[in-house]
Structure 1
Amino acid sequence: MVKPFLWWLYAVLIIAVTTANTGLGVREDYSLAASSAGGVGSLWILFALFGHVYNKPIMGPELWRFLFWVGLVAHVPIILVFVHLLYSTVMPFFGAGIIVTVFYGLLTVPSLYVLYRYGDFYHPAWNNHRFDGQLEALEQRLSSDSEVVLNYQDSEAPLHFDIKVTVADEGYRVDIKKRYYDQSSSFTDYLSDAERVLRFIYRFPELKAITI
């Protein structure tokens, strides 16, 4: 596991390289838009880095997983800019442009890791309250029963959940059925331990109020 100090050293590098990249963009009109977009992207990465290191929920995991895919796609223009600078003989700040582009590309790799991990529904940040004793209660019930059935009915809306946790060969099977008015949807997953089961259930914010 990477120590927080190393992550914050990495954050300083992101800020430094982003500042340098934006500075070059101001002086070279052709890269101003790209460098500005990179600066905005780096700001989001810093938010994700803070949430990942300290297990703090910021926005939601769907956003960070989406930004992960955006980051993958962003590799393409970075490579194109690098090739352009590499073979150009007339662009000013030629050497500095290559250095900044190379460093920016290298810094993208660990940032993608952060976005991928932080965008995982099972990341501790999304359930950092330690489940308020619910994990222990679920483990106790699963140790004595092969099947645990839970229900949730919203008191203000026609929203209903049926949850069934079944002991499987190598873990647990979780079946969640959600009903809202005349619409229904089902979700199923196979998980290795009770903590992952509870995190899967808590993907639905309403179910954090359920008592096991």
Structure 2
Amino acid sequence: MSSWDRAFHAYGPARGGDQLLNAFRHGREDMYLRDHPHAAWQPYTFLWTALYCDGRITPATVLGLRHLASAVTADDFGGSDPTLRVAAVWWIRDVIRSVLTATDLDGARLTAARRNEPAVHEWLDEYLRQERSIFDWDADDAPGQVLIAGARVDCFDFLPECFAPLSTLLTPSQAEESSPTPDEPLLTASWPEELRAAAASATALLVAHPGLRR
């Protein structure tokens, strides 16, 4: 599993991506932009443009999926902005769709099996010293395609871990007038209808995964 400083997204190295997602997760985009006035990315646009990029799955997409799936049910997700949790669930949903509709997963596994070869490590070391988009790749960047295949496989294998947090968001409170305490399961929270709709859409896709069909 890569770390942020060893991963890339659609537009180049993903270093600092954990800081961007933490700012998004806590609803602190304004604070992040104030503290990083020359940043190339804003937290929200980083999520939708760099980590997803019209369905392109990269090593950084895997890191983003793991990050958000583990955090999206936190009672303080998004800070004072409830729309950020909804956006995160829709992002997870779109990643699920891209992963499950991709073709030739078996071929991707065969390609991904080469990701620990020295030539792939050497290519990655060189690539991470640049600010170069995957859209600029050519035949010399074949090792990068090995890592893209690995990202597809890693996302696919992680999808069953998304089921529990998404299903948690599906059910409103049995007693809407009561608020959950930090120790209560979030299934008892009165989730907004918009959020439940996003979670339902994501879960409807997710159960097509072979590990969840039961």
TM bin (shorter chain): under 0.3
Which one has the bigger strand percentage? 1
Q: TM-score, normalised by structure 1?
A: 0.28
Q: TM-score, normalised by structure 2?
A: 0.27
Larger Cα Rg: Structure 1 or Structure 2?
1
Higher relative contact order (CA 8 A, sep 6+): 2
